[in-house]
Amino acid sequence: MLRKRTNGREDADNGNKPERKKTPEDYSVTGSTVSQKSCWAVVSFWMKVLLFVIFTPAFLNYASLQREGQVLSPTDAHLIDIGLGEKIHLHCKGHGQPVVILDAPAGMSSDIWFHVQESLSFSTKVCTYDRAGLGFSRRALQNETTGTEKVWRLSTTGRMVDDLHRLVKAADLATPFILIGSELGTLNGRFYSHIHDTQVSDLVLIDPIPEDVFEEQKWQQFWYSQLIPSLQMMQFSAAAGLSRLLIILGVLKPLIQGEHISEELLQRQKYLLCNPAHQSAAVDEHFFLNESASQVSEISRYKPLSSKTSVHVITGESFDDQLPSDLNRVLAELQSKFLERSYPNANRIQIHGADRHMIYKNPSSLIKHLHKLVAQRQTNQQRQ
């Protein structure tokens, strides 16, 4: 009985025990927990927004590139398999001989020759091509090569000339031909003419690059501290899908414009501006330009140019407004010394009011001289 009463008393005591009042510290802990959850929710939301903003333009750009790459390639062009896992985009127009082959400046596709090719094709067969990695050409993967890169590094003149030689053979282009190059194309043209001299009747150098230009500290600093980083930013912008947005906003525009430019050509230029593979190859060609110049210098000493190859040099009278004035003077002085030293007997032509961008900024004056050259070579061939 006594035990029961004791238990009953304890139960009563437990049942009537008042609840502990919450202290201000308890409310502080609860508020802190809610605040942390709310903060993490906000952070998580903005992280998702950030990821969406970062990856969506890149994804949409990639999807658009897949479709545009199939639609925008010129219908009368060909993708030539030259071996070593490389396929080169070749675009020939017109008929007749001598064949004219055009080699573009550093980092530019064959579209840069649009005006020149359109005009000269009325007189003879004119071929442009995209170097490996540029435009619509396919660059070899590392595991597809056969060791050629151990002799000539990818994106250097030696490798480009090897590609061009295999392209000429694979496409069965008639030789000897007229080889016309601008800027980096002049290095390629010189290298090719010295090695395969029987295949080149005329070598045309438009604004040639002096071999020793990178020995100048000012030029080297400009090239690697300003120009290369700007090209790398273009590559990043293309990969991130930002270039497409900038084109839509009208901030980024194609190089070749005008009333006579087709919508297809404009869209193709925009496609290449948004294509990270093309932009990557452009960066590589500029980065290794110094090595390309060294290769040409060495091959020129090893094998002089044949006396049967006529050399023509075309330069502009005006300085490049995209370069600082001191660099323009340095480049002009080095170019003059180089031509006197390497090609003293070359036919030299200076075009009034033109600069080193003449092939797309001032093509009419350039085309006039090229027409004369083609006509002269055709006359000589008929006499023979």
Domains of the chain: which residue ranges? Answer: 72-383
The tens digit of pLDDT for each residue in 127-139 reads 999 999 999 998 8
Confidence label for 23 from pLDDT (cuts 50, 70 and 90):
low
The tens digit of pLDDT for each residue in 241-276 reads 999 999 999 999 998 888 788 899 999 999 999 999
d(CA 204, CA 191): 13
Owner of token pair 């005591």: 13
CATH topology of domain 72-383: Rossmann fold (3.40.50)
Cβ atoms 88, 132 nearer than 8 A = yes
- Name residues whose C-beta falls within 8 Å of residue 358's C-beta, 6 or more positions apart in sequence: 206, 207, 314, 316, 351, 365, 366
Confidence label for 3 from pLDDT (cuts 50, 70 and 90):
very low
Task: Give pLDDT, residue 9.
Answer: 47
